A and B are shown apart, each in its own frame.
Chain A
Amino acid sequence: MSLFSEYRLLLRPKALSTRRRGAGEKGRLGRVALVVGIGAAAWPLIYVAIYRLLRSLRLVEEVGPLLAAKLLALGLLVFLGILLLSNLIAALSSFFLSRDLPALRAAPVDWLALYTARLTETLVSSSWMVVLMLLPILAAYERVYHGGPVFLVVALGAIVPFLIIPAAVGSAITLVLVRLFPARRSKDILGIIAVGAVGLLVLLLRLLRPERLVNPEAYRNLVDFLAALRGPSSPWLPSQWGADALTGYLQTAFDPFFLALLWTTAGATVVLGAALHRRLYPACFSRAQEGNENRMRRHAGWRWLERLLRRASLQRQELILKDVRIFFRDTTQWSQLIILAVLIVVYIYNIRVLPLRSGEMITRYLIALVVFLNLALSGFVLAAIAARFVFPALSLEGRTLWLLGSSPVKPGAILGAKYWVGAVPLTFLALVLTVVTNLFLGVQAGLFALSLVSVVGLSLAFTGQALAWGVYYPEFETENAAQIPTSIGGLLFMLGAVASLSAVLAGQIWVLREYLASGLPGRVPRDPYLSEIVLALTLTLGLCLVAGFPPYRAAVRRLGRLGR
Chain B
Amino acid sequence: MIVLESLTKRYGEFTAVDGVDLVIERGQIFGLLGPNGAGKTTTLRMIAGILQPDSGRVLMGGHDIDSSPIEAKRIMGFVPDRPFVYDKLTGAELLRFAAGLHGMTGEEVERRIDELLDLWELSPWKDQLVESYSHGMRQKLIISSALIHRPRVLVVDEPMVGLDPRSAWLLKDLLRSFVDQGGTALISTHTLELAESLCDGLAVIDRGRIAASGTMADLRRQAATQEAGLEEIFLKITRGATDWEIARVLEG
**A interface list, Cβ under 8 A from B:** 24, 184, 291-297, 314-315, 317-319, 321-322, 325-326, 329-330, 398-410, 561, 563-564
Partner of B128, one of A293, A321, A409: A293
For B93, the chain A residues whose CB sits under 8 A away are 296, 322, 325
Does any Cβ of A come within 8 Å of B2's Cβ? no
> Nearest-CB distance from A398 to chain B (Å)?
8
The closest CB in chain A to the CB of B73 belongs to A408
Asked whether B49 lies within 8 Å of A406 as measured between CB atoms, the reply is yes
Q: List 12 A-B pairs, Cβ < 8 Å.
A: A294-B129, A317-B100, A322-B89, A326-B86, A326-B88, A326-B89, A401-B50, A402-B84, A406-B78, A407-B98, A408-B73, A409-B70
Cβ-closest 3 pairs across A and B: A318-B100, A399-B84, A405-B50
Query: How far apart are the CA atoms of A453 and B88 in the complex, in Å?
Result: 36
For B145, the chain A residues whose CB sits under 8 A away are 403
Q: Which of B51-87 contact A (CB under 8 A)?
A: 51-52, 54, 69-71, 73-74, 76, 78, 80, 82, 84-86
Does any Cβ of A come within 8 Å of B105's Cβ? yes
Asked whether B100 lies within 8 Å of A315 as measured between CB atoms, the reply is yes
Query: How far apart are the CA atoms of A325 and B89 in the complex, in Å?
Result: 7
Query: How far apart are the CA atoms of A317 and B106 in the complex, in Å?
Result: 13
Does any Cβ of A come within 8 Å of B48's Cβ? yes
Apart from A318-B100, A403-B85, A403-B98, 4 more pairs, CB < 8 Å: A184-B131, A296-B128, A400-B86, A407-B98
For A296, the chain B residues whose CB sits under 8 A away are 90, 93, 127-129
Asked whether B132 lies within 8 Å of A292 as measured between CB atoms, the reply is yes
Query: How far apart are the CA atoms of A65 and B229 in the complex, in Å?
Result: 87
Proximity bits, B207-226, A CB within 8 Å = 1, else 0: 00000000000000000000
Does any Cβ of A come within 8 Å of B97's Cβ? yes
Question: Given that A295-B128, A406-B76 are contacting pairs, would A325 and B88 also be in contact in the complex, using a CB cutoff of 8 Å?
Answer: yes
Give the interface size bracket for B toward A: 35 or more
For B54, the chain A residues whose CB sits under 8 A away are 564
Does any Cβ of A come within 8 Å of B103's Cβ? yes
Query: How far apart are the CA atoms of A156 and B89 in the complex, in Å?
Result: 48
Asked whether A315 lies within 8 Å of B82 as measured between CB atoms, the reply is no
Asked whether A318 lies within 8 Å of B96 as measured between CB atoms, the reply is yes
Query: How far apart are the CA atoms of A120 and B244 in the complex, in Å?
Result: 45
Does any Cβ of A come within 8 Å of B174's Cβ? no
> Nearest-CB distance from A88 to chain B (Å)?
22
> Nearest-CB distance from B31 to chain A (Å)?
20
> Nearest-CB distance from B38 to chain A (Å)?
20
For A408, the chain B residues whose CB sits under 8 A away are 69-71, 73-74, 101-103
For A563, the chain B residues whose CB sits under 8 A away are 45, 49-52
> Nearest-CB distance from A49 to chain B (Å)?
43
**B interface list, Cβ under 8 A from A:** 11-12, 45, 48-52, 54, 69-71, 73-74, 76, 78, 80, 82, 84-86, 88-90, 93, 96-98, 100-105, 127-129, 131-132, 145, 155
Query: How far apart are the CA atoms of A561 and B54 in the complex, in Å?
Result: 11
For A322, the chain B residues whose CB sits under 8 A away are 86, 89, 93, 97
For B104, the chain A residues whose CB sits under 8 A away are 314
Query: How far apart are the CA atoms of A292 and B97 in the complex, in Å?
Result: 22
Query: How far apart are the CA atoms of A402 and B103 in the complex, in Å?
Result: 18
Question: Given that A291-B132, A295-B127, A405-B50 are contacting pairs, would A400 and B102 also be in contact in the complex, using a CB cutoff of 8 Å?
Answer: no
Query: How far apart are the CA atoms of A146 and B69 in the complex, in Å?
Result: 65
> Nearest-CB distance from B93 to chain A (Å)?
7
Partner of A318, one of B49, B51, B76, B97: B97
For B127, the chain A residues whose CB sits under 8 A away are 295-297
> Nearest-CB distance from A104 to chain B (Å)?
20
> Nearest-CB distance from A535 to chain B (Å)?
45
> Nearest-CB distance from B4 to chain A (Å)?
16
> Nearest-CB distance from B108 to chain A (Å)?
13
> Nearest-CB distance from A309 to chain B (Å)?
11
Partner of A400, one of B45, B78, B84: B84
The closest CB in chain A to the CB of B75 belongs to A408
For A293, the chain B residues whose CB sits under 8 A away are 128, 132
Query: How far apart are the CA atoms of A186 and B117 in the complex, in Å?
Result: 30
> Nearest-CB distance from A316 to chain B (Å)?
9
For A403, the chain B residues whose CB sits under 8 A away are 85, 98, 101, 145
Query: How far apart are the CA atoms of A400 and B88 in the complex, in Å?
Result: 12
The closest CB in chain A to the CB of B134 belongs to A291
Query: How far apart are the CA atoms of A402 and B11 in the complex, in Å?
Result: 18
The closest CB in chain A to the CB of B14 belongs to A24
The closest CB in chain B to the CB of A327 belongs to B88
Asked whether B129 lies within 8 Å of A561 as measured between CB atoms, the reply is no
| Residue in A296, A326, A408 with the greatest tally of chain B CB atoms within 10 Å | A408
For B49, the chain A residues whose CB sits under 8 A away are 405-406, 563
Asked whether B88 lies within 8 Å of A402 as measured between CB atoms, the reply is no
For A314, the chain B residues whose CB sits under 8 A away are 100, 103-105
> Nearest-CB distance from B142 to chain A (Å)?
8
The closest CB in chain B to the CB of A291 belongs to B132
> Nearest-CB distance from B17 to chain A (Å)?
13
For B89, the chain A residues whose CB sits under 8 A away are 322, 325-326
Question: Given that A295-B127, A325-B93 are contacting pairs, would A402 and B50 also be in contact in the complex, using a CB cutoff of 8 Å?
Answer: yes
Partner of A561, one of B11, B52, B103, B128: B52
For A321, the chain B residues whose CB sits under 8 A away are 97
Query: How far apart are the CA atoms of A218 and B155 in the complex, in Å?
Result: 75
> Nearest-CB distance from B104 to chain A (Å)?
8
Query: How far apart are the CA atoms of A314 and B98 in the complex, in Å?
Result: 11
For B96, the chain A residues whose CB sits under 8 A away are 318
Query: How far apart are the CA atoms of A50 and B95 in the complex, in Å?
Result: 56
The closest CB in chain A to the CB of B44 belongs to A406
Question: Given that A326-B86, A402-B78 are contacting pairs, would A409 and B132 also be in contact in the complex, using a CB cutoff of 8 Å?
Answer: no
> Nearest-CB distance from A27 to chain B (Å)?
13
Asked whether B131 lies within 8 Å of A407 as measured between CB atoms, the reply is no
Asked whether A410 lies within 8 Å of B132 as measured between CB atoms, the reply is no
Asked whether B85 lies within 8 Å of A400 as measured between CB atoms, the reply is yes
Asked whether A407 lies within 8 Å of B101 as measured between CB atoms, the reply is yes
Query: How far apart are the CA atoms of A398 and B85 in the complex, in Å?
Result: 10
For B82, the chain A residues whose CB sits under 8 A away are 399
For A294, the chain B residues whose CB sits under 8 A away are 128-129, 132
Question: Given that A402-B78, A407-B73, A563-B50 are contacting pairs, would A318 and B129 also be in contact in the complex, using a CB cutoff of 8 Å?
Answer: no
The closest CB in chain B to the CB of A297 belongs to B127
| Residue in A296, A319, A330 with the greatest tally of chain B CB atoms within 10 Å | A296
Asked whether A292 lies within 8 Å of B129 as measured between CB atoms, the reply is yes
> Nearest-CB distance from B163 to chain A (Å)?
19
For B45, the chain A residues whose CB sits under 8 A away are 402, 563
> Nearest-CB distance from A401 to chain B (Å)?
8
> Nearest-CB distance from B109 to chain A (Å)?
10
> Nearest-CB distance from B164 to chain A (Å)?
18
Asked whether A406 lies within 8 Å of B132 as measured between CB atoms, the reply is no
Asked whether A292 lies within 8 Å of B85 as measured between CB atoms, the reply is no
For A184, the chain B residues whose CB sits under 8 A away are 131
| Residue in A315, A329, A402, A404 with the greatest tally of chain B CB atoms within 10 Å | A402
Query: How far apart are the CA atoms of A401 and B103 in the complex, in Å?
Result: 19
Query: How far apart are the CA atoms of A74 and B131 in the complex, in Å?
Result: 43
Query: How far apart are the CA atoms of A24 and B93 in the complex, in Å?
Result: 38
Question: Given that A406-B49, A406-B73, A408-B70 are contacting pairs, would A330 and B88 also be in contact in the complex, using a CB cutoff of 8 Å?
Answer: yes
Asked whether B131 lies within 8 Å of A315 as measured between CB atoms, the reply is no
